[in-house]
Structure 1
Amino acid sequence: MSETYRFAYEGGVGELVEKKSRFIATVTPVTSEEEALRFIEQTKKKYWDARHNCTAFTIGSRHQLTRCSDDGEPAGTAGRPMLDVLLKEDIHNVAVVVTRYFGGTLLGTGGLVRAYSGAVQEGLRSSVILTRQSGVRLEIRTDYTDLGKIQYLMGQEQIPTLASDYTDSVYLEALVPVRQLESFCNALTEGTAGKVSLTKGDPCDYALNGGELLLLDKGEPV
């Protein structure tokens, strides 16, 4: 079962200007080093006329793989500060390229660190960052007399319904966060005086994008 963590679902582009130098941050989701390197190469080709294209990425639910590059800026003034933003925000499976068009004025070490860090923050603000959670599919079988109580409990705990079937009896498939599974099952049993039938199914990672439920595959690194 994978852990709960924040990840880039959709990338974005953010920009800031510091003493006439433009810093353009391009953010994208990635799930492998190869994917990150392809993105970096494509972005460098897009901004081929820029002075610098500095990079950072982190992959894995525990940041197992991290890389960064100053791309010709003074050591430690670009790539590492960019990566530090990703790690401080605890965002996983994400890559960012900050492109600099030189404005003619030197910024100094501190100015570069602030500019590259600030550009990454702008890029993240324009991206969609979600929280990946671990859940379990729970099959619920009951009669109609207890349906209202079950729906109330599901609404109270914000448990989404994946499937339903209303025939002679009621069948619901719910997606329950792992941390709530035991207490939710106990609440259902108590609330129906033990008449409900519960069957635990497969684990399922998911995220909520506003009110939209997104089921996530298990192929991403953990």
Structure 2
Amino acid sequence: MLSHYYTIKNDGQFEIVIKKSRFICTLKRIESEDEAKTIIQQIKKEHWKANHNCVAYVFGENQQIQRSSDDGEPSGTAGVPMLEVLKVKNLHNVLAVVTRYFGGTELGAGGLIRAYSNSVSETLTHIGLVEGKLQQEIAVTLDYSLHGKVQYFLENNKEYTLKDTVFTDKVTMLIMVDEEAIAIFQQAIIDLLSNQCELSLGDTDYVEIPLTDKEID
């Protein structure tokens, strides 16, 4: 399994206008290549009056599946520039479709390359990205009187993520921790609570953390 990956925060769409041509970028998470093909056909059906519906997507743990289509634009001016944006951002399992409604002014090869790549880049900024990190679930079981201490600790140590809290005769907090930080976290909790707690390991899972605009750039 990957230790981490990057992808879009959620599915979304964003439009830019260049010399009266409309460029509508649709970004989708995909779970298979067949799903990507189905979505592409849906978008083409929705925008059947558009001049072009250009495509790029990456799929697989190591981006091993990469596809692009210029859909009638001059070769290399649309799909490949779109794909390059996804690859530069190192995105995982993402489909981009840029729909173009021609505005009457030719942009030239260079202009098209910039338009299609900018359409994807600006949509990524508009939607936002996340980093999925493979983390270990650690169950911390403690008395109610100590619950607030751990809450305060987590508020001041953002590298740990509270997944859930279960209230029974005691409180069990399910906390996600980077695998390399397990021992550090366990010792910090033991010290914080003077060893008045029980710790146990659960499953590993991905936790998606939003990236800042600076990290996206």
Please give the range of the TM-score, normalised by the shorter of the 2 chains: 0.7 to 0.9
> How far apart are residue 195 of structure 1 and its match?
4.2
Amino acid at match of 2:111: G
Amino acid at match of 1:83: L
Name the structure 1 match of 2:178: 177
For 1:6-85, list aligned pairs within 5 A: 6-85=6-85
Change (3 A) 1:15 1:196: same
Change (3 A) 1:160 1:74: same
Q: Which moved more, 1:156-165 or 1:74-83?
A: 156-165
SS at match of 1:31: coil
> How far apart are residue 143 of structure 1 and its match?
4.4
CA root-mean-square deviation: 2.4
Change (3 A) 1:64 1:3: farther
TM-score (norm 2): 0.84
TM-score (norm 1): 0.82
Change (3 A) 1:142 1:22: closer
> How far apart are residue 116 of structure 1 and its match?
0.6
* Superposed CA offset, 1:93-120 (max 9, x none): 2111111222232211111100111111
Change (3 A) 1:25 1:144: closer
Distance 1:100 1:161 in 2: 42
The size of the alignment, in residue pairs, is 209
SS at match of 2:48: coil
Name the structure 2 match of 1:187: 188
Amino acid at match of 2:176: L
Change (3 A) 1:112 1:200: same
> How far apart are residue 72 of structure 1 and its match?
1.7
Q: Which moved more, 1:33-42 or 1:114-123?
A: 114-123
Q: Is the 8 A contact 1:30 1:95 kept in 2?
A: yes
Q: Is the 8 A contact 1:11 1:128 kept in 2?
A: no
Unpaired runs of at least 5, structure 1: 211-222
User: Aligned to 1:164, which of 155, 163, 166?
Assistant: 166
Amino acid at match of 1:27: L
* Superposed CA offset, 1:39-76 (max 9, x none): 11111111112221110011134212111011121211
* Superposed CA offset, 1:111-164 (max 9, x none): 110011111123223335322121222122334665554444333223315123
SS at match of 1:10: coil
Q: Is the 8 A contact 2:135 2:177 kept in 1?
A: yes
Unpaired runs of at least 5, structure 2: 212-217
Q: Does 1:207 align with 2:212?
A: no
Amino acid at match of 1:203: T
Q: Once the two structures are aligned, what percentage of the paired residues are identical?
A: 39
